[in-house]
Structure 1
Amino acid sequence: MNPKTLYGYTVLLAGFLTIAFFTSYSEETPNEAPLSDFGATTLPQTIQSVRLDKSFDFAGEPLPMDNFDVRERLDRELSVNAYWHSSTLLNLKSSTRYFPVIEKILKENGVPDDFKYLAVAESSLRNARSPAGAKGFWQFMKNTGAAYGLEINSEVDERFHLEKATRAACQYLKDYKEKYGSWTLAAAAYNMGGTRLSKELEAQGSDSYYDLNLNEETNRYIFRIVAIKEVLSHPQSFGFYLDNDDFFEPLNDYQTIKVEGSIERLADFAAKYGVSYRMLKVYNPWLISSKLTNPKGKTYEIRLPKKKF
């Protein structure tokens, strides 16, 4: 048999064996169950590109959506937050507990309502702690928090006091707004620091955030806040459906106990009022120790839930 004929038979045999193998495999593989068989255990989703055919603004200041770079940077942050399911879902649930508190203080201090979404960007509405030492909903560093009137020591850390920290954040942001002339630049300064932002503004010869080339985090910062605002304001447009009882309840059913002396053991203090140590800490996260010695004789207001847990 000549070599060409032998080669032809070899190719035909290989093709036959390949077809036989895959035919046998497909016959032995069970058919996939239809989606309807999974019932309530499935989380159906449709992956689509986010829509950018509208105007967007931050604190009443419009984004220049005719700039392709601006559109693409916003597209990135909208996509991340729309499809970052667990984080966005928990932010939605937490919003009913904390937004009313934050909104009231922002309004009282003349700060745009959109800054509540800055708190989401900073901490996901949690008393977070960063590796750099920033703490609380508004992620104050120790020196900055103290400069804006927050008490910070080994027993009390008011960066974890939502109302007091929000008032401090309002003043901080208003100072930056006065310095830079826009809420957008005030937010950028909040993220990267005023000194660094001033240097970049001078070096780059621009007074528009959208024309600046900043560090990676601050380059994304405003777009991230706008994306969070968009998703949390219109959750169903992004596929998030929650019932009323899915949202976290406000922590507003409490009594306030004024303390002017010291408390040797906060556990005993909680037990005296019939609540657990855990609930004492949940309602007063600014109490960071197991005691309150109060050496300066200050008056503290400690909240205790009326409902006993």
Structure 2
Amino acid sequence: MSRYYSMIIIAISSALLFYSCGKSHSEEVVQNDNSDKEIEELPIKKDKQLSYSQQVIANYQVYAMPTPASLTFAGEKVPLQNIIVKEALDRELHSNTYWHSNTFYYLKRANRWFPVIEKILEEQGIPDDFKYLAVIESGLLNVTSPSGAKGFWQFMKKTALGHSLEVSEDVDERLHLEKATMAACEYLKTSYNKFGNWTLAAASYNMGKAGLNGQLAKQKADNYYDLLLNIETGRYVYRILAVKCIFENPQQYGFNFRQEDLYPPYQTKTIEVDSSITNIVNFAHEAGTNYKTLKMLNPWLRTNKLDNSSGKVYELLIPVSGEGLDQVGEFSMKFVQND
């Protein structure tokens, strides 16, 4: 599978964090400093004898993120005693921790979409940790990659069709979360049956089953952590692990929020359609909503019509009541934050 923003190397700058702390001030004189401002303007501990730059040096702190003492993926132990494995995880922990805005949006969106994904994973016998695979694939958005992969699970068209997803002029079920999650479960089941290992199944989602099998044979290896792979697949499982660590212990990695800061699930009801829709704008208003809301809730509808000469039954979501999405759902994330 193609990862969201694949082939793009993202340069992540460490965030400048200013703390009011008791750290002793540096006595070093900063030469040629043209950026001095009144210390009273700074939201930090103030010392009128220090310049702006000296004050920054005295208060600026960036912390190394701790790697867990032990870790599993889908019930399989991660060999953190291996220094190469530990440092690979360390890289992804820092990348995701200090890319604050991006990771915060992961956390916010997960509150809305994880309940949908978790339910299907459980029903299909897929370990719950695979919800983090969807996070690193798409950021829990219906994105399109440069190579043409689409949706939360980033299916290419050929793979989607091979897993019974409809991809046509009017419909693209790669953008239908429930159906795409079912298709992802099918793929992961076949991978697990082939490799006998969930970690390798996750890696195959990025590299493909044939490509991964070829590398296992070529390198005479039997697990992901002993393989030398291309950069993207070589980092892939570690990205999943890093997201898992942050989601399970967000405060430990500096993410503090209230439950009401997270995005609530949409409150919707389902209507069935077994005929063609000639104009979705008109259909939306007849259903008591509007075009924008209907398309947001059903992103798999690609045009302003639905050609359904076969009489296939489609299920569309509309708001429980009212034209727009103004109903607030319950918060569902499993971690607890301080108010």
Q: TM-score range by the shorter chain?
A: 0.7 to 0.9
The verdict on how the C-alpha distance between 1:37 and 1:269 changes in structure 2, with shifts beyond 3 A counting, is farther
**Counterpart AA for 1:259:** V
Identity %: 48
Alignment partners' CA distance in 2, 1:27 and 1:206: 58
**Counterpart AA for 2:43:** L
User: What SS is found at the alignment partner of 2:39?
Assistant: coil
Alignment partners' CA distance in 2, 1:27 and 1:153: 61
The verdict on how the C-alpha distance between 1:298 and 1:218 changes in structure 2, with shifts beyond 3 A counting, is same
**Counterpart AA for 1:242:** F
1:281 equivalenced with 2:295 (yes/no): yes
TM-score (norm 1): 0.87
Which of the residues 68, 90, 107 maps onto 2:122? 107
Flag the structure with larger Rg: 1
Displacement, 1:275? 1.1
Return 5+ residue gaps in structure 2 as ranges: 1-28, 47-58, 325-339
Greater helix percent: which structure? 1
TM-score (norm 2): 0.79
After TM superposition, the runs of 4+ consecutive aligned structure 1 residues lying more than 6 A away are 25-28
Alignment partners' CA distance in 2, 1:256 and 1:66: 50
User: What SS is found at the alignment partner of 2:192?
Assistant: helix
Which of the residues 247, 257, 261 maps onto 2:262? 247
Q: Deviations over 1:23-66 (max 9, x none)?
A: 9x88995433342599xxxxx98521111251011111111111
Equivalences, count:
282
The verdict on how the C-alpha distance between 1:212 and 1:294 changes in structure 2, with shifts beyond 3 A counting, is same
The verdict on how the C-alpha distance between 1:76 and 1:26 changes in structure 2, with shifts beyond 3 A counting, is closer
The verdict on how the C-alpha distance between 1:46 and 1:236 changes in structure 2, with shifts beyond 3 A counting, is farther
Partner in structure 2 of residue 3 of structure 1: none
Let me know the Cα RMSD of the aligned residues. 2.2
Q: Deviations over 1:52-109 (max 9, x none)?
A: 2510111111111111100110000000011110110000000110001100100001
Which of the residues 219, 230, 236 maps onto 2:234? 219
Which of the residues 26, 39, 53 maps onto 1:32? 39
**Counterpart AA for 1:147:** G
Return 5+ residue gaps in structure 1 as ranges: 1-21, 39-43
User: What SS is found at the alignment partner of 1:35?
Assistant: coil
Q: Deviations over 1:199-223 (max 9, x none)?
A: 1111101011111000000000010
Partner in structure 2 of residue 161 of structure 1: 176
Alignment partners' CA distance in 1, 2:162 and 2:60: 47
Which of the residues 212, 230, 253 maps onto 2:245? 230
Alignment partners' CA distance in 2, 1:210 and 1:74: 11
